[in-house]
Amino acid sequence: MIHSLFLINHAGDIFLEKHWKSVISRSVCDYFFEAKEKAVEPENVPPVLQTPHHYLISIYRDKLFFLSVVQTEVPPLFVIEFLHRVADTIQDYFGECSESLINDNVVTVYELLEEMLDNGFPLATESNVLKEMIRPPTILRSVVNTLTGSSNVGDKLPTGQLSSIPWRRAGVKYTNNEAYFDVIEEIDAIVDKSGTTVFAEIQGVIEASVRLTGMPDLSMTFMNPSLLDDVSFHPCVRFKRWESERALSFIPPDGNFTLMNYHVSSQNLVTIPVYVKQNICFFETGPCGRLDITIGPKQTMGKTVEALMVTIHMPKAVLSANLTATQGNYSYDLTTKVLVWDIGKLNSQKLPNLRGSLSLQSGAPKPEDNPSLNIDLKIQQVAISGLKVSRLEMNGEKYKPFKGVKYLTKAGNFQVRT
């Protein structure tokens, strides 16, 4: 299946290679570099490339390319999903997935890759299994290891590897037992010039942070499960229970994980928390344009809208912006042509406004297109769909855990066309 993996940085240097079968020369990456050159933007490099003898499947994450080489038929998503899992694991181990961190921990990364695939087929991808085999580096451990000469490598088969719940290791112990859940909903919307909603939907995710001793068996019920239209679960969730009772019943992995993703059924009208009045125009005569944006609350369910931010990708011809904001700060990046207006809290008494002039490159024709506005916002303590967790129970262990559910609404892909 997966033959080799190359990690390539933004500049196009290969800084790590791993082969699970015989060695493939790194010159195979030249085809990739060619495509990368052609694509201009790294996001536009085709994830699957065909070369005379190999197929190259790559992902772009955290400014790094994970490029895998395969020789025979394999479902491309299989490889892509695996590569993302590699990136996730690296992030999980070292806090972030960056070239310098990988270079600092090159041996650990290499060992991880060795464990994750055998002959190109995934062997252990669950983070808790890996962590039992190769312990993540901590300062304390590295000190202890240098003193005692003990190793970072486990000599026993991780318990998860054999059990029917590979995501949880045995013998978890905490002094403070706690289970926290964040219900985070994102509004994806396209609002057109006149302010009417072209398309809107709510995507939600339940992120969990569970630190419980032993083998707790949790079950979570919702006040209004009928809101949930489409769901996907962490493997720990028992699907039958969901089908029959609309309750999430699971033995959680230890630590942080995504319990569930969901889509709110499209029958429900999506509440759009803010409205945007905008006017961006470029004049035919003279190298300038005008910009005027006002944001106001629409349906906020009685909560304050926070962390409001507007991002605009300006046309190439816009040289600079001379604007005044009644609230918050704005910045205009000359190289990327991105205008960012960081507003902060939305004050419904005094609506934030940004207005001023844009200067264009002299001689350039008036830009044909009007840029669209990307809105970012947060509303604490509410899930915009109205989803509510009604109960969280724990079976299987005797102690009383701390439990908590937090709600948060964010803007996902919230776009206002102009």
In the complex, minimum distance from the CB of residue 67 to other proteins, in angstroms, rounded to a whole number: 12
Binder among 9, 213, 221, 294 for other proteins (CB under 8 A): 221
Residue 214, CA distances (Å) to 155, 316, 401 in order: 22, 58, 12
Nearer to other proteins, 176 or 196 (CB): 196
Q: Which of residues 266-295 bind other proteins (CB under 8 A)?
A: 266
- Decide the pairing of beta strands 373-380 and 274-282: unpaired
Nearer to other proteins, 1 or 354 (CB): 1
Nearer to other proteins, 79 or 354 (CB): 79
Identity of residue 324: T
Q: Does 82 bind other proteins (CB under 8 A)?
A: yes
Q: Does 159 bind other proteins (CB under 8 A)?
A: yes
Mask 50-79, x = binds other proteins (CB under 8 A)? x----x--xxxx--------xxxxxxxxx-
Q: Does 370 bind other proteins (CB under 8 A)?
A: yes
Alpha helices for 123-190 (secondary structure H): 127-133, 139-148, 159-162
Report angle CA 79, 254, 7 to the nearest 5 degrees.
30
Q: Which of residues 87-146 bind other proteins (CB under 8 A)?
A: 106-107, 109-111, 114, 118-119, 121-123, 125, 146
Query: Mutual orientation of helices 76-94 and 106-116 as an angle, nearest 10°?
Result: 140
Q: Does 161 bind other proteins (CB under 8 A)?
A: yes
Nearer to other proteins, 308 or 317 (CB): 317
Phi/psi of residue 322, nearest 5 degrees: -125, 95
Q: Which of residues 242-271 bind other proteins (CB under 8 A)?
A: 243, 245, 247, 249, 251, 258, 261, 263, 266
Among the residue ranges 93-101, 166-174, 297-305, 340-348, the one whose residues contact other proteins (CB under 8 A): 166-174
Show the 3-state SS of 324-369: EECCCEEEEECCCCEEEEEEECCCCCCCCEEEEEEEECCCCCCCCC
Alpha helices for 22-98 (secondary structure H): 29-39, 76-94
